[in-house]
Chain A
Amino acid sequence: DAGVIQSPRHEVTEMGQEVTLRCKPISGHNSLFWYRQTMMRGLELLIYFNNNVPIDDSGMPEDRFSAKMPNASFSTLKIQPSEPRDSAVYFCASSSRGLSPNSNQPQHFGDGTRLSIL
């Protein structure tokens, strides 16, 4: 079965450029999550969607970051303009969301996009 697919796997760009990261969640999953991982801060949740609707974007660092989910099989995370401190590995994850508090399901991660801003 196909897992979460992220592209590109690596991105190197100059400061000030726009960066777009892409994610295809597991088919049938209705929750999608964007994380950022750095050595200093570990894994941080940036934003998550349920049924294509953004639920919590409190982890988005600042207005330079934006995320969209136009349909159930695609999401983007955009950084504009990018800065060197945005360098990190960005992960997308998806899960099936239950309707009750006892129906948690694990999140399944893609292999990430390693972003380097020069």
Chain B
Amino acid sequence: GESVGLHLPTLSVQEGDNSIINCAYSNSASDYFIWYKQESGKGPQFIIDIRSNMDKRQGQRVTVLLNKTVKHLSLQIAATQPGDSAVYFCAENYGGSQGNLIFGKGTKLSVKP
């Protein structure tokens, strides 16, 4: 079935380095993508989103890249900080204007001081 998957289940980086978290999606009809951050004991927190008519979108210290040719999504975190340690989920929506948001399994990011 259609699903969102992550290439790396865990990622360990040094504080101050840049982090790249990858995600593959399988539905070419997906038109909206979101990255979430989930800390222990909390709900997923919205980080950044991107629509399928864009290739790149930047936020504060984060950049999302979308490659529709290979159905790949990535989240780049600049100057990674200990507070960035969390599980990161990508999600895709192909259900039209709302609703059917499919989440990947998540990547755990650990930041070493």
Contact = CB atoms under 8 A, between A and B. Distances in A.
Interface residues of A, number: 29
A111 B41 contact: yes
Contact of B103 (A4, A42, A102): A42
Given A42-B103, A42-B105, A43-B103, A104 B97 contact: yes
A56 B100 contact: yes
Interface string B94-110: 00111111111110000
Interface of B: 31-32, 34, 36, 41-46, 49, 51, 53, 89, 93, 96-106
28 contacts: A4-B43, A33-B99, A42-B103, A42-B104, A42-B105, A43-B44, A43-B89, A45-B102, A50-B98, A55-B99, A56-B100, A91-B43, A93-B44, A97-B98, A99-B97, A100-B97, A101-B97, A102-B31, A102-B51, A102-B97, A104-B93, A106-B34, A106-B46, A107-B46, A109-B36, A109-B44, A111-B43, A112-B43
Interface of A: 4, 31, 33, 42-43, 45, 48, 50, 55-56, 91, 93, 95, 97-112
